[in-house]
Amino acid sequence: MVRIWLLAAVLVLGAAFPLAAHGEKPGGEKHDELVVTVSEKQVDAGKFAVSEVQGGMLGKRIAVPGSIVPSGDHIARVAVRLLGTVAELRKRLGDTVRAGEVVAVIESREVADAKSEYLAARLVFDLQQTLFNRSTRLFEGKILSENDFLRARTTFEDARVKIEIARQKLFALSLTAEQIEALPQQPVETLRLQELRAPIAGRIAERRVELGSLVGREGQESELYVIVNLDVVWAELAVPSSDLASVHEGQKINIAAGIGGEPSPATIMFVSPLLDKDTRAARVVASVDNTALKWRPGSFITAEIPMDVTSAAVTVPKTALQSFKGDTVVFVRTAKGFEARKVSIGRQDGRLAEVTAGLSAGECIAVANTFTLRADLGKAEAEHED
pLDDT 10s digits, 237-294: 999 988 888 899 999 999 998 665 678 899 999 999 999 888 889 999 999 999 988 9
Q: Does domain 62-72+230-310 have CATH number 3.90.190.10?
A: no
In whole angstroms, give the CA distance from residue 210 to residue 224: 9
Task: Give phi and psi for 58, each to the nearest 5.
Answer: -115, 145
| The predicted structure's pLDDT at residue 1 | 40
For 142, counting Cβ atoms within 10 Å of its Cβ (0-12 exposed, 13-18 middle, 19+ buried), the class is: exposed
Q: Do domains 62-72+230-310 and 109-191 have the same CATH topology?
A: no
| The predicted structure's pLDDT at residue 97 | 94
Dihedral sign, Cα of residue 326, residue 332, residue 334, residue 337: positive
| The predicted structure's pLDDT at residue 336 | 82
| Cβ-Cβ contacts under 8 Å for 231 (sequence gap 6 or more) | 74, 289, 290, 291
Q: Domain map of the chain by residue range?
A: 2-59+329-385, 62-72+230-310, 75-106+193-228, 109-191
| Cβ-Cβ contacts under 8 Å for 175 (sequence gap 6 or more) | 194
CB 169 within 8 A of CB 117: yes
The one-character DSSP state at 155 is H
| Positions in the chain whose pLDDT score sits under 50 | 1-32
| The predicted structure's pLDDT at residue 116 | 93
Question: Of 255, 264, 250, which is closest to residue 236 (Cα–Cα)?
Answer: 255
SS3 assignment, position 16: coil
CATH class for the domain made up of 75-106+193-228: mainly beta
What pairs with residue 304 in β-bridges? 63, 254
| The predicted structure's pLDDT at residue 11 | 40
Level-2 CATH architecture, domain 109-191: Orthogonal Bundle (1.10)
| The predicted structure's pLDDT at residue 40 | 77
| The predicted structure's pLDDT at residue 251 | 92
